[in-house]
Amino acid sequence: MVARTMTSDASLSSAPAQAVRRAPASYRSCSYASPVGMLTLAAADDGLKGLWIEGQKYFAGTLDAPLEEGMDAHLERACTWLDAYFAGNAPALDALTLAPIGSAFRQTVWRILCEIPYGCVRTYGDVAKEAAARLGKARMSAQATGGAVGHNPISIIIPCHRVVGADGSLTGYAGGISKKLALLQAEGVDVSAFHVPQRSTAP
């Protein structure tokens, strides 16, 4: 079995990786106790593969092998990054090697998410327009873009919580709307103009 991965660099803005890799026998995994709940992290030799909030939709959904408890350098650096983030800082991504598994389109969207500054938000429409521009298309499906954002396998670090609806709706967060709100507030975002949808709209 082969899987496509996005290997990140300091800028996280290069073209999506086209190389394929064979799935490992298992992924190394650790837990992290955070203010928004227990987190599960997963890594392989080529980088961080996932970070999921307890109870999150699509938990480990991109992985093609089981999780096996054990630390490595990628997990240690990710935990250090989380320490800084939850202490109220804005740690840079260049200390991490991000290698989520996904299609070329989803990788493009995840790179765009990585470029949303700490304490700022973008709309799904903003992300769709940027994705279309990078892929040389006239427009991009909002549904496809929302699906890519919602299926982000590295929550918090790839900041899909910074994407909101055009009408100010705190919509579509697989980790739960309350977690999305908590993360935005922790980053100092003024959430007074946002509202919670009456029903879940997570892709």
Q: Which residues are catalytic?
A: 160
Helix, strand, coil fractions of the chain, as percent rounded to 5: 30, 20, 50
Q: Given the structure tokens 């997990």, which residue do they identify?
A: 75
User: In this structure, what DSSP letter does residue 116 have?
Assistant: S
Terminal CA-CA length for the chain: 26
Cβ(13)–Cβ(93) under 8 Å?
no
Q: Please state, as a whole number, how many other Cβ atoms lie within 10 Å of the Cβ of residue 76.
A: 12
CA dihedral 98, 99, 105, 106 (to 10 degrees): -70
Cα distance between residue 88 and residue 69, in whole Å: 28
Cα distance between residue 89 and residue 87, in whole Å: 6
